[in-house]
Each structure stands twice: as structure tokens, then as C-alpha cells.
Amino acid sequence: MPRLLPTIQERLLRLKGLLSQLGTARGTDRVKAELSSQRAEDLAEGMARMEPEDAAALLQAMDPIQAGNVMVELPTDTAREIVDELSDEVLASYLDALPMDDAIDLAEEVGDERFESLLEVIPAEDAAEIRRLMAYPEDSVGRLMTERYFWAKPDMTIKQILADLRKAGEEKYEQVNDIYVVDDAHQLLGVTSLRRVLRVPQSTEVAEIMRVDPVTVHATDDEESAARTMARYGFYALPVLDESGKLVGIFTGDDAQTILREAETEDVLAVGGVTGDAEPYYALNPWSLYKRRFPWLIALFVAETLTGAVMRHYGKDTEVGVPPLMFFLPLILGAGGNSGAQVTTTITRALALDEVKTGDWLAVMGKEFVVALMIGASLGLLGFARAFFGWSTGMGLSLVVGLALPVVVLWATTIGSILPIGAKRLGFDPAVMSAPFITTFVDATGLIIYFEIARRLLG
């Protein structure tokens, strides 16, 4: 019977157990045997929660091919910390073992200068291919394509094609689902599938069964647009052409899937007011989360001071008579609602991608508490300065604003972090339940917090 995939906690415990066995030669052999049976994605997910030096020790116990694949799967920030623990010789062995499109991913993690020195160590042919791919614009298909594809001349028979496939080494082709037919100048003439090849007589020439109007992309095309094209037609890969129409590589489905998942994550987080690349939740430390959220909160902070300015304007009208304490309500409630929405969006997306489990609620709350302290303190200082220096409201009311902001943000973040996890635990959709509820709840409780602080400080 197929075994169930282990949970994140089980993977982490297993990795920590393996780490403790690395002290002896016999233990090292046992660790290598155990690691060789694990999938790169599962290993990367567990290592993202380990200390960099521990993760580096396990990487060095793996086969270079497996270790390279794990490095590619690791979040960028995590990989950057781990590569500092690895020597150039070790990294070069990973670089040499990876497919070229995956090898380029290491450039972002090790830095341009160190990456260039690694290219001097690996075989010249592989280094030249990597440099060719890196010459294409960033975020273009050319950066992600592979040159290891199966191509054939139009007069080749099915028998010749099958013989070539049988003799080819495992690493020669990235995938063989599609066979690309080219002329002597390597211009793309058509494409056929391996399934179709297996269904016709072996004496058939490939030109007789090829499709002459294949869907293609250019090497300089945007990677997300190319990925959506592939998803639209359900292809395993797309042929990549240069400006002259020459076939220079293929864009594969695994890369397209990763691009679309990251793009969708970034879009969802942007709706919730969170910026930055799509990195797994546990790969981000509190400072990283602060940098992703605070810029949007500053923009919303400025916008909400405009609402307060309107109330201040009408507060001068004796018929309206808005008390000064009310001028800051939009600022206080807006900061709480926005920070709570950011947390809710982040955790909901992490739950959807299985990066966070319902059993992780305590760890999530601990991390979000630290982030909330940083954001609340920053907004509190800004709020105090805006009230005291901007509107000259006096020390008392300015202190109320400066204290209420961090307390409301801390409260909103606590609720925002636990709501999605609690909703999923109860069997509800976190996205449907959390987003509408957080704003309403924070508005009501934020009023109580603000007025209670004012009552104690102002009497």
C-alpha cells in the first residue's frame, strides 16, 4: 500500500534524528541511505525550519544531485543562509549536477560574484550553457528553458527515434513527452508526441505524423505569460524560439507550475496589503514580515489621516461639534483593521499551500506577536508625532494615540493570526470566514481599547 506523506513536524523530527547520527562513519552511512529515499520537496520543507548549520550538514551528507535539487526547492532567504555554511567545492558539485535552468536559481542565492567563481570550476560546456541562459532578460522564458530536449530531422524513421531514446543517458533529455522536428538550420518544422510515435509503424518518417502549427514562445517572452499559455493548452512543455525562429530550448511544465503558484500567491498577498516575493511562511523571520507589511500600512496611515483632517475641519463648526478625541478614530481603527487583514491574508494563503498546519497555531501566534510589536511601535511613534506636532493636540491626547495604536495593532494581529487556523480547525473555509469578520471585530474592540486608554489617561 502507498504510504501517506509525513507532516511537516514529522519531517523535521526525522531530519533532527538523522542529524544526531552524523557523528560516526556508520551513522553517516545510515543517514545517506535514509536521505536518498526522501523527496527533495519534503526535505526542503523540513530544512526550512532548521538552523542553517544543521541544514548544511545534512546537505553535505546527500548525493550532490539530490542536494542540488533540495537547494533549488529551498526558499531563497533560507538558501542564502545555508550557502554561507558551504564551501565553493560543495556548491560547485551541486551546480554541476543540476539541470541548467535550475542551476541558474543558485545565482540569486550565492550572489553574482561567488556564482561566477563557481562557473570557473564546473565543466566548460555546462558553464557556457548557463551563461547563454543568463544572457536573457530576467523573468524571461530564456532564463528558465532547458537545452536538453529531444529533436529529430523530418526524414528520421520511428525506428531511429526509438533507438536513440533507448541509448540516451538518463540526464540527456529533460523530458521526452514531445519530439521536436527541425531542419538543417534548426528551424522548428513541427512537433509530435511520444504517444503517437509508439502507435505507428516503425518505418514511418516523423514528418508524416508531426503537427506543423505548434504553439511556441520566444526566449524573451515574459515567463508568467508563457506559463499561462502552457496552462491554457495543457501542454507538458513549450518550444522556445529565438528571433529568427530557431529552436533554442523548451519551457517545461514544472517551471510553469512554480511560476503560476508564486504569481497567484503574490496577487493574493497584494490584495491583503502585503508586498514581496512568494516565500513559504516559515522561511520568513519577523523582520522579513515587517518589511513586507509596513510600507502598505504607512500608505494607509497617510490616507486615514486625511479622514481625520476632514473630521478636524468640521470639528471647528460649533453646530457639528466633533470632540478632538474623535479625530483619530479612523487612524486607530484603520491601523487595526489593516494589520489584522494582512495577517489573516498571509495565514490563509499559507494554510491553502499547506505551509502551515492547524497544530502550528502557537508558533504562528508567537511569530506574529513579535511582528505586531515592531509594527505597533512604529505606528505608535508616527501617531504620536502626527497628533503632537502635526495637529498640536497636546501631550495627553497625543499619548493616548501613541499608546492606542500599538495595543490595537497587537490585538488585531492576535485575532488575525488565530482566526484562519480556528476556522479551518472547525471545518470552515478560512478565506470566507476570516476576511469579513476581522474588520468588524477589530472595529468594535478597537473602540473599546481606544476609549479605555483615553479614559485612564485623560480622565
- Which CATH number covers residue 362? 1.10.357.20
Same domain, residue pair 184 and 229: yes
Residue with cell 522556445: 240
Q: How many domains does the chain have?
A: 3
- Asked if residue 13 belongs to a domain, the reply is yes
Same domain, residue pair 231 and 302: no
362-406 pLDDT, tens per residue? 889 999 999 999 999 999 999 898 888 877 778 988 999 999 999
Same domain, residue pair 300 and 436: yes
Determine contact, residues 344/414, Cβ cutoff 8 Å: no
- Asked if residue 442 belongs to a domain, the reply is yes
Residue whose C-alpha is closest to residue 181's, from 152, 211, 204: 152
DSSP secondary-structure letter at 137?
Answer: P
Same domain, residue pair 241 and 323: no
Q: Which residues are CB-contacts of 32 (< 8 A; sequence separation ≥ 6)?
A: 61, 62, 63
Q: Which amino acid is at 249?
A: G
Same domain, residue pair 317 and 451: yes
Percent of the chain with pLDDT over 90: 29
157-210 pLDDT, tens per residue? 999 999 998 888 777 788 888 999 999 999 999 999 999 999 999 999 999 999
- Asked if residue 265 belongs to a domain, the reply is no
- Asked if residue 264 belongs to a domain, the reply is no
Determine contact, residues 136/98, Cβ cutoff 8 Å: no
Domain boundary residue, one of 71, 104, 135: 135
Same domain, residue pair 417 and 328: yes
- Asked if residue 267 belongs to a domain, the reply is no
Same domain, residue pair 293 and 341: yes
Determine contact, residues 169/143, Cβ cutoff 8 Å: no
CATH code of the domain in which 196 resides: 3.10.580.10
312-362 pLDDT, tens per residue? 777 665 555 567 788 888 888 888 888 988 999 899 888 888 888 888 888
Residue with cell 466633533: 322
Residue with cell 516565500: 279
Cα–Cα distance measured from residue 376 to residue 301, given in angstroms and rounded to the nearest whole number? 12
**Structural domain of 416:** 272-458
Same domain, residue pair 56 and 119: yes
Pairing of strands 237-241, 247-252: antiparallel
Domain boundary residue, one of 185, 219, 253: 253
316: how many CB neighbours lie within 10 A of its CB?
Answer: 9
Instruction: Please calculate the CA angle 57-62-63 and round it to the nearest 5 degrees.
Output: 145
Query: Which SS3 state, helix, strand or coil, does residue 217 take?
Result: strand
Judge if pTM exceeds 0.85. no
Determine contact, residues 261/224, Cβ cutoff 8 Å: no
Rounded alpha-carbon distances, angstroms, from residue 437 to 93, 300, 340: 51, 20, 10
DSSP secondary-structure letter at 386?
Answer: I
Cα–Cα distance measured from residue 196 to residue 159, given in angstroms and rounded to the nearest whole number? 13
pLDDT over threshold 60, residue 4: no
* Dihedral, CA of residue 415, residue 420, residue 426 and residue 432, to nearest 10: 110
- Asked if residue 140 belongs to a domain, the reply is no
Same domain, residue pair 299 and 411: yes
Cα–Cα distance measured from residue 383 to residue 335, given in angstroms and rounded to the nearest whole number? 10
CATH code of the domain in which 129 resides: 1.25.60.10
- Asked if residue 3 belongs to a domain, the reply is no
Domain boundary residue, one of 253, 280, 299: 253
Same domain, residue pair 71 and 14: yes
Same domain, residue pair 57 and 87: yes
- Asked if residue 234 belongs to a domain, the reply is yes
Same domain, residue pair 192 and 319: no
